[in-house]
């Protein structure tokens, strides 16, 4: 009778096969990271090329915006040479890419500050507004879409479709103006335009860029509630559009999953309806829903220009609009570049979350 072979102890030396498998796994991981880095580099270079072409093709002369239309020919030529516009396009693109990689986005003609410093000042306000609006959309829109799909062609489904229809057809600036007229001017439920009352300005130190979080960290409850009163209405307006979009997409995804055979099988086995809906059906739409949420968040980051103008919100949308009206191309291109880089970062984050929620993506 043969003696059974005992399993190899954890501290036993690795066999050549184990070392070969580990080497192959390391090579696969290295190749995956290399492909990721190459894709990121190509995407960023493409973004640089797009912003460079925009800066050269728009019907705005950055030299005239800098020196004025009454400047002499010698002053115009000197400013053109200073900006590097007298060099070949390839050299101009190389210099532009080099400056961007070193964090130099130029000087704003409107504020006379480095564009990067201006963006660091205004972008957190847009990020705070878009994040809060997206949270509203996710917490309300996704459950509403699920319930609408489960209660297909019932009153809940009709309400969800009506919300999606209004969110797709009503202009955001009109809804913002009506919200100000009703909730601020008439009912006095919320504070007016702006991010905070002037009396509270500068009372908390900036740590995260979010005025709400910074006020909580500092323990300034008056500042927190004042800032919350200011952001409540614009976040609710943008959040409504996010709810409309996410509920419509979630409903469509869930209707497709609820018609699949595995749902019928799960119900035939006697599984609780709540588990069938939220564990099986909703679990299978998590990956496409992540893409929809990322797209919604990206839209709120770059598409909140009208909302920021209506509510005098000091974000990147207002900053970009002022730069366009004053022909401040450094600020325009810098803002466009930051928004594009944010899109890239959100796509990378979405890809990483795919691997968490979908084992097949690993």
DSSP state of 315: S
> CA dihedral in degrees (242, 246, 247, 249; nearest 10)?
140
Q: Specify if 106 maps to a domain.
A: no
Q: Among 49, 75, 101, which residue terminates a domain?
A: 101
Q: Specify if 8 maps to a domain.
A: no
Q: Are 146 and 250 in contact (CB under 8 A)?
A: yes
Say whether both 145 and 277 belong to one domain. Answer: yes
pLDDT for 2 equals 47
Report DSSP letters for 203-235, one per residue: SS--SSS-HHHHHHHHT-HHHHHHHHHHHHHHH
Q: Cα separation of 280 and 264, whole Å?
A: 11
Enumerate the β-bridge partners of residue 114.
Answer: 107
Q: Cα separation of 334 and 332, whole Å?
A: 6
Q: Specify if 54 maps to a domain.
A: yes
Q: Are 126 and 297 in contact (CB under 8 A)?
A: no
pLDDT for 135 equals 93
Q: Among 45, 79, 101, which residue terminates a domain?
A: 101
Say whether both 243 and 340 belong to one domain. Answer: yes
Say whether both 84 and 181 belong to one domain. Answer: no
Q: Specify if 109 maps to a domain.
A: no
pLDDT for 104 equals 85
Q: Specify if 3 maps to a domain.
A: no
Say whether both 215 and 330 belong to one domain. Answer: yes
pLDDT for 233 equals 93
Q: Cα separation of 100 and 341, whole Å?
A: 12
Q: Indicate which CATH number applies to the domain containing 151.
A: 1.10.3720.10
Q: Specify if 208 maps to a domain.
A: yes
Q: Cα separation of 44 and 215, whole Å?
A: 35
Say whether both 84 and 229 belong to one domain. Answer: no
DSSP state of 170: S
Q: Are 360 and 307 in contact (CB under 8 A)?
A: no
Say whether both 24 and 129 belong to one domain. Answer: no
For 103, left (φ over 0), alpha (ψ -120 to 50), or beta? left
Q: Supply 249's token pair.
A: 């997409």
pLDDT for 70 equals 74
Based on the structure, what is the number of domains in the chain?
Answer: 2
Say whether both 145 and 259 belong to one domain. Answer: yes
Query: Which residues of the chain, if any, have pLDDT below 70?
Result: 1-14, 16-19, 21, 25, 59, 65, 303, 358-362
* Site of tokens 């590097």: 84
Q: Cα separation of 105 and 119, whole Å?
A: 10
Q: Cα separation of 346 and 351, whole Å?
A: 9
Say whether both 66 and 92 belong to one domain. Answer: yes
Q: Specify if 77 maps to a domain.
A: yes
Q: Among 75, 101, 127, which residue terminates a domain?
A: 101
> Domain range for residue 21?
16-101
Query: 45 Cβ partners below 8 Å, 6+ apart?
Result: 97
Query: 107 Cβ partners below 8 Å, 6+ apart?
Result: 113, 114, 115, 330
> CA dihedral in degrees (277, 136, 134, 288; nearest 10)?
10
Say whether both 57 and 147 belong to one domain. Answer: no
Q: Are 334 and 106 in contact (CB under 8 A)?
A: yes
Q: Cα separation of 259 and 325, whole Å?
A: 52
Q: Specify if 10 maps to a domain.
A: no
Helix (H, G, I), strand (E, B) or coil at 107: strand
* Nearest in space to 96 (alpha carbons), one of 55, 151, 152: 55
Q: Are 231 and 212 in contact (CB under 8 A)?
A: yes
Q: Supply 266's token pair.
A: 């799960």
pLDDT for 303 equals 65
Report DSSP letters for 24-83, one per residue: HHHHHHHHHHHHHHHHHHHHHHHHHHHHHHHHHHSS--HHHHHH-TT--HHHHHHHHHHT
Enumerate the β-bridge partners of residue 107.
Answer: 114
* Nearest in space to 146 (alpha carbons), one of 269, 315, 283, 35: 283
Say whether both 221 and 291 belong to one domain. Answer: yes
Helix (H, G, I), strand (E, B) or coil at 301: helix
pLDDT for 361 equals 59
Say whether both 72 and 125 belong to one domain. Answer: no
pLDDT digits (tens, 9 = 90+) for 227-263: 999 999 999 999 999 999 999 999 999 999 888 888 8
Say whether both 128 and 57 belong to one domain. Answer: no
């Amino acid at each position: 009778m043969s003696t059974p072979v005992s399993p190899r102890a954890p501290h036993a030396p690795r066999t050549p096969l184990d070392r070969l498998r580990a080497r192959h796994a390391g090579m696969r991981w290295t190749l995956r990271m290399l492909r990721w880095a190459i894709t990121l580099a190509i995407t960023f270079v493409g973004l640089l090329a797009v912003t460079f072409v925009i800066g050269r093709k728009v019907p705005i002369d950055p030299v005239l915006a800098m020196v004025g239309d009454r400047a002499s020919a010698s002053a115009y030529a000197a400013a053109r040479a200073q900006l590097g516009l007298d060099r070949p396009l390839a050299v101009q693109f190389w210099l532009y890419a080099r400056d961007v990689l070193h964090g130099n986005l130029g000087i704003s003609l409107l504020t006379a500050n480095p564009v990067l410093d201006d963006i660091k000042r205004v972008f957190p306000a847009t990020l705070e507004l878009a994040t809060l609006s997206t949270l509203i959309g996710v917490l309300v829109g996704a459950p509403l879409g699920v319930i609408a799909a489960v209660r297909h062609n019932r009153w809940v489904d009709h309400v969800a479709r009506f919300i999606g229809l209004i969110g797709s057809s009503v202009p955001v600036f009109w809804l913002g103006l009506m919200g100000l007229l009703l909730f601020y001017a008439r009912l006095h439920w919320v504070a007016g335009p702006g991010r905070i009352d002037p009396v509270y300005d500068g009372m908390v130190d900036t740590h995260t860029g979010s005025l709400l979080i910074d006020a909580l960290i500092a323990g300034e409850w008056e500042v927190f509630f004042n800032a919350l009163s200011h952001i409540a209405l614009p976040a609710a307006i943008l959040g409504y559009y996010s709810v409309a979009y996410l509920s419509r997409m979630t409903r469509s995804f869930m209707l497709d999953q609820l018609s699949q055979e595995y749902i019928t099988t799960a119900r035939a086995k006697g599984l609780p309806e709540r588990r069938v809906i939220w564990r099986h059906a909703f679990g299978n739409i998590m990956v496409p829903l992540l893409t929809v949420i990322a797209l919604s968040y990206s839209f709120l980051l770059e598409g909140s220009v009208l909302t920021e103008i209506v509510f005098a919100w000091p974000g990147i949308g207002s900053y970009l609009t002022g730069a366009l009206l004053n022909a401040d191309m450094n600020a325009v291109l810098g803002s466009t570049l930051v928004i594009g880089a944010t899109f890239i970062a959100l796509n990378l984050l979405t890809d990483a979350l795919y691997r968490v929620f979908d084992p097949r993506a690993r």
